[in-house]
Structure 1
Amino acid sequence: MFRSVEIALTSLYVFTTAVLVGGIYYLHQVIGFQQWGIIALGVLLVTVGVGRVLAKIALDPLREHFDHLERLSKETLHELNLPVNTITANVEMLRKTNTDDKSLKRLERIETAATMLKERYNELDYLIKKQMERERIESFDLETLLSERLDFLRPLYPGVAWEILTGSWNVQCDRIGLGKVIDNLVENGIKYSPHSPAIAIVMESNTLSICDKGQGMDEITLMRIYDRYYQNDTAMAGYGIGLGLVKRYCDRHGIGLHVASRPGEGTCVKLEFKKGEKQNG
């Protein structure tokens, strides 16, 4: 498809150039037309007209191609979500009926693979939505967004102990992206708290803290958590992708990102919003 577009553009460009040069030569040398201002205006009008035609020839196939890719991506994401959730749910059921070490290790490997697929799904989902929405900046209450995300997350993780302390605070940024950031940080906290996961979400002034009491990370790991595919050990599985997305979002919207962690004590991530965004009420 693009090869034929390239040939059409080249042919039209060569033909237009030849017509312009031939026309100028004919007017000046054959007819003896000497009004260069009118000649220049005519050349400009022809150039603009041909430019519009060239742009249409070049962009229409691209627009059609990207529309097709967008539809295909949305359909593929929708189809991926169901089998991943099915695998995860069945692993949990099988874990209750299988107690021998070999079966449990196999189930753990299946669950790890499903988790990796889910992470790729979440990343693609956010990137596609961001591309479609063009990151619409809006003003909204952070407490309302937190309530919406918790209503979504709590049923998915019934075994989590939640500690929620929030207040009303107005922010101005991309709402969809911030919701994905919150989901990512909460799910990371749960994922790396294998025993009795507990998540604390606290909003103090302009800082939102999302903390867990999981296995935590050492200083070396903390230095590389934003590297896209860095994986120090099994404790780091997935952290690079997720926190990389979080950091890019925060950098774009001027949100301070601070991560504190200690092995065996858990991890605390703080999002510091701009000082100018003030408390509601």
Structure 2
Amino acid sequence: MNIKQKDFMISNMIVVIFTILIVLIFYNFITAEFGFDQNNFLPVTLFLLLLGGVLYYFLSAQLFEPLFKSEENIENHIKETLHELNTPVATIQINSKILQKKEKDEKNLSRLNRIDESCDSLLNLYNQMEYSIKEQIDSISTEAFDISEIIEKSLLKHHDLKADISIFYEKKSYIIKADKNGFERVFDNLLINAIKYNKKNGTITIQIKDDILSIKDTGIGIDTKNLFQIFDKYYQENNHSSGVGLGLNIIKAYCDRYKIDIKIDSLKDEWSLFSLNLKGVKWQ
């Protein structure tokens, strides 16, 4: 628990206790003046509840305003910082492309390529952070889009990562209405896991059929006893792999938000199959 959470809890406790004391004082005053019986039970109770609610609202509004203002300032500062980060990275990338056209030396070209790759990573991180902020403040918009475009974009993006793994995908148009950036993150994570946990010269099969998007790999599989916890935050089937175990948790959160049923079938040391039922978000 951080300092702000402690401050909020302490402040809230003070407001609640103060409100209860005021209500009790009014209760004693009313019962002393008018008594308290079956005839006035309902109006007195309603009055005291209303009084407590109004008191809590005005006291908490005054007390919590600095805390909420501080959160708003931090949020605005992060947005501004992200915007400022995006501009110089894009500038570096543009100039790197210009230099690549003029450069002939292989070593220098290799260095420029590494700069490009680093810029891509930074821009990807920028997009992820921007999305996370929008997710926190519930400002994510939904739109109709073709998931085949997302799939092809992800396959191109992770072409170098797959190395000797063969990926089979027959393009099929399928339009859904949801958060497009979020779906891109979901598919990226599914594809990266299928690559990361695959075997040498393994395969990945991606299919869209009967409203189901399925991704099957010929990898290490998932132990049956772990199937119920793989969506937990920080969980990893292979503790020696890179990453922090957030990918499947992100996928589950997205699917829960849009009522997408996700199922997992797996055979240890043989294969894993992730299936997303997109019928609920299908664009009619």
- Describe the SS at the equivalent of 2:190: helix
User: What percent identity do the matched residue pairs reach?
Assistant: 21
The CA distance in 1 between the partners of 2:267 and 2:72, in whole Å, is 39
Q: Do the aligned partners of 2:205 and 2:216 also contact (CA within 8 Å) in 1?
A: yes
In the TM superposition, what is the alpha-carbon distance from 1:48 to its structure 2 partner? 0.9
Counterpart in the other structure of 1:188: 193
How far apart, in 1, do the equivalents of 2:238 and 2:281 lie?
39
- Runs (5+) with no aligned partner, structure 2: 1-6, 94-106, 112-117
CA shift for structure 1 position 173: 5.2
Secondary structure of 1:140's match? strand
- Any idea what SS the aligned residue of 2:214 has? strand
Q: Report the TM-score when normalising by structure 2.
A: 0.56
**Closer, same or farther: CA 53–156 of 1 in aligned 2, 3 Å:** farther
C-alpha distance in structure 2 between counterparts of 1:259 and 1:62, whole Å: 48
Question: 1:165: how far off?
Answer: 3.1
Residue 31 (structure 2) pairs with residue 20 (structure 1)? no
**Given the superposition, is the C-alpha separation of residues 159 and 131 from structure 1 closer, same or farther in structure 2, using an over 3 Å criterion?**
closer
1:57 maps to a residue whose letter is L
Counterparts in 2 of 1:222 and 1:169: CA distance versus 1, 3 Å: farther
Q: Does 1:7 align with 2:14?
A: yes
Question: Where does residue 250 of structure 2 map in the other structure?
Answer: 245
Structure-2 separation of matches of 1:245 and 1:207: 19
State yes or no: 1:257 paired with 2:263. yes
Q: Which structure 1 segments of 5+ residues have no match?
A: 98-110
Matched, 1:55 2:57: yes
Cα offset for 1:206? 0.8
Amino acid at match of 1:52: V
Q: Distance in 2 between matches of 1:148 and 1:60?
A: 47
Question: What's the CA shift string for 1:39-90, capped at 9, x where partnerless?
Answer: 85366345414412213433665576356446636828949x88xx9xxx9x
Corresponding position of 2:98 = none
The alignment covers a number of residue pairs equal to 245
Could you say if the C-alpha distance between residues 78 and 8 of structure 1 is closer, same or farther in structure 2, counting changes exceeding 3 Å? same
For 2:38 and 2:175, locate their aligned partners in 1 and report how far apart those are by CA, in whole Å: 64
User: CA 1:28–1:279 in structure 2 vs 1: closer, same or farther (change >3 Å)?
Assistant: closer
DSSP 3-state at the match of 1:133: coil
User: Partners in 2 of 1:191 and 1:43 — Cα distance?
Assistant: 63
Cα root mean square deviation, aligned: 5.5
